[in-house]
Amino acid sequence: MKQIDLYRHKKILVLGLAKSGVTAAALLHKLGAFVTVNDKKPFSENPEAQGLLEQGIKVICGDHPIELLDEGFELIVKNPGIPYNNPMIAGAIEKEIPVITEVELAYQISEAPFIAITGTNGKTTTTTLIFEMLNQGNKQPLIAGNIGTVASGVAQKATKENTIVIELSSFQLMGIDTFKPRIAIITNLYDAHLDYHGTRREYMAAKSNITKTQTELEYLIINADQEETLEIARHSKAKIIPFSTKKQLSEGAFISNGWICFNDEQIMEIEKIALPGVHNLENILSAMAAAKLSGVENSAIQEVLQAFTGVKHRLQYVTAVNGRKFYNDSKATNILAAINALAAFEAPIILLAGGLDRGNEFDELLPYLKNVKALITFGETAPKIERIGSKAGIKTIKRVDNVDKAVPEAYRHSEPGDIVLLSPACASWDQYKTFEVRGDIFIEAVHKLK
């Protein structure tokens, strides 16, 4: 960890706790800042705030009093989930108080370089693949961000021999200033989180922040099959490394004659790759490119791709029950992710779908429901998804209260050889705290069938 004096004796407000806020507050305190923590959860129900108070950090709990902004703070470190139209954040911006997320802190203290991954879909799989490839290649990677430990916690332990592989959301990227990854990746870009960003343009702008400080000494790996990512590349100063599942490239990562290739090298035959799903080839190509740029040998990349079958909650094979195979794709929190899951199977599918209603319709699902023989819905969007199911000609459509009840209902309408797939196409927050909780409930309910 670099010992920096940037925050010594500065008044800093950490807004919102959870893991990132706790870690950021403790780090800033260690760096000599005068830290105040503000969290909406009452102090009596807030063990995180209680722990920070014991360290000598000032805590204010129960609400976000706007008058706090009159106390002369020189910086705000906010929880990524707090939107910029929040009165405290809007007030801080009006007062010209800088607002960052803890990823910026992580970069400032880290001795290790970063490989940073963002995009709409595939971030977690790509991040995990890169970590596994670097690990197999003895490159001493550490994993951080949405997929692992809080970035500013990992950065405190990292040395120059390590590489931090970090998954970043658009929320986190809105709060960076000097953060500069040695390798940045944009997997793909589709409409998402518009309830937070307001417009597609703002969402794209947030994603593009991943390369905003890069120079010709760094790399930006981008999806060459999308105009949105190519547009970001045109404005980047980094060395562009494209990947494509649709066309052969003169340089970068691509598919040729049944092989995945990098520049002029054939790396591995596709048929030997363990990870299912055509959509995962995008993730594999971008991860392979990052690994090659990091000096990983082909043999290490091959070993990972022959063994890696996916991450939890992302098209995760759970088990088979009386000839039915169950897959947990709870991380499919948008329509495109659900489409990718549906396209991965040829067998008849019992689809479990539904969740938070963000105001969108589900017509894009229609062409991909041809293999769905039964549809089990739950959550706020159940009526909308049922409408599309009826339009697709699905004869069996049943609504249940939750995922726990959806599993036995799905089993009742299945036969040996069927796929029972949880791929909600929606966020979980109408019923569950996270998509991980939703997925764990699905897994538990599947095992109860046995």
Question: Helix/strand/coil (H, E, C) string of the chain?
Answer: CCCCCCCCCCEEEEECCHHHHHHHHHHHHHCCCEEEEEECCCHHHCHHHHHHHHCCCEEEECCCCHHHHHHCCCEEEECCCCCCCCHHHHHHHHCCCCEECHHHHHHHHCCCCEEEEECCCCHHHHHHHHHHHHHHCCCCEEEEECCCECHHHHHHHCCCCCEEEEECCHHHHCCCCCCCCCEEEECCCCCCCHHHHCCHHHHHHHHHHHHCCCCCCCEEEEECCCHHHHHHHHCCCCEEEEECCCCCCCCCEEEECCEEEECCEEEEEHHHCCCCCCCHHHHHHHHHHHHHHCCCCHHHHHHHHHHCCCCCCCCEEEEEECCEEEEECCCCCCHHHHHHHHHCCCCCEEEEECCCCCCCCCHHHHHHCCCEEEEEECCCCHHHHHHHHHHCCCCEEEECCCHHHHHHHHHHCCCCCCEEEECCCCCCCCCCCCHHHHHHHHHHHHHHHC
pLDDT tens column, 427-450: 999 999 999 999 999 999 999 998
Output the pLDDT for position 315: 86
Output the pLDDT for position 202: 84
Output the pLDDT for position 376: 98
Output the pLDDT for position 221: 98
pLDDT tens column, 4-45: 999 999 999 999 988 899 999 999 999 999 999 999 999 999
pLDDT grade for 246, boundaries at 50, 70 and 90: very high
Sign, CA dihedral 160-166-168-172, equals negative
Output the pLDDT for position 346: 86
Q: Which residue has the higher pLDDT, 204 or 164?
A: 164
Percent of the chain past pLDDT 70, that is, above it, reads 98
| Rg of the chain on CA atoms, in Å | 23
Which residues are known binding-site members?
119-125
pLDDT tens column, 369-386: 999 999 999 999 999 999
Q: Which residues partner with 12 through β-bridges? A: 35, 75
- Is a pLDDT exceeding 90 seen at residue 49? yes
Q: Which residues partner with 144 through β-bridges? A: 149, 166
pLDDT grade for 141, boundaries at 50, 70 and 90: very high
Q: Which residue has the higher pLDDT, 106 or 279?
A: 106
Output the pLDDT for position 403: 98
Which residues are known binding-site members for ATP?
119-125
Average pLDDT for residues 75-79, to the nearest whole number? 95
Average pLDDT for residues 149-177, to the nearest whole number? 94
pLDDT tens column, 249-276: 999 999 999 999 999 999 999 999 998 7
Output the pLDDT for position 191: 60
Residues 186, 221: contact at Cβ < 8 Å? yes
Confirm or reject CATH 3.40.50.720 for domain 316-449, answering yes or no. Answer: no
pLDDT grade for 203, boundaries at 50, 70 and 90: confident
Tell whether pTM > 0.85: no
pLDDT tens column, 81-122: 888 889 999 999 999 999 999 999 999 999 999 999 999 888
Task: Name the residue ranges covered by the structural domains of the chain.
Answer: 11-100, 103-307, 316-449
Output the pLDDT for position 198: 60
CATH number among 3.20.20.220, 3.40.190.10, 3.40.1190.10, 3.40.50.300, domain 103-307: 3.40.1190.10
Architecture of domain 11-100: 3-Layer(aba) Sandwich (3.40)
Output the pLDDT for position 434: 94
- Is a pLDDT exceeding 80 seen at residue 183? yes
Output the pLDDT for position 192: 53
- Is a pLDDT exceeding 90 seen at residue 388? yes
Mean of pLDDT over the chain: 94
Output the pLDDT for position 193: 53
Output the pLDDT for position 324: 96
Output the pLDDT for position 307: 92
